[in-house]
Amino acid sequence: MINFTKSRAKAAREARLREALRQNLKRRRAQARGRATDEPERSEAESLDPAATSDKPER
């Protein structure tokens, strides 16, 4: 009886966590899509090169 209750509780917890992860992923994807439409496209080299986005003068 106790094992059955524990397994049901564990299954319920896993289901809640699975749903929370799913909702988090949906929210993060929506945020990424929103950022992608707000920002102008940059080349991959610019996004990886910190000097390209820095306001400091080069030495």
pLDDT in tens, 1-59: 568 899 999 999 999 999 999 999 999 999 999 998 877 666 565 666 666 656 666 65
Q: Residue 41 carries which DSSP code?
A: P
Q: What is the pLDDT of residue 53?
A: 59
Give the integer Cα–Cα distance in Å for 20 and 23: 5
* CA–CA–CA angle 26, 20, 15 (5° rounding): 130
Give the integer Cα–Cα distance in Å for 48 and 7: 47
Q: What is the pLDDT of residue 44?
A: 60
Q: What is the pLDDT of residue 38?
A: 77
Give the integer Cα–Cα distance in Å for 18 and 9: 14
Query: What global pTM score does this model have?
Result: 0.52
Residues contacting 45, CB < 8 A, separation 6+: 52
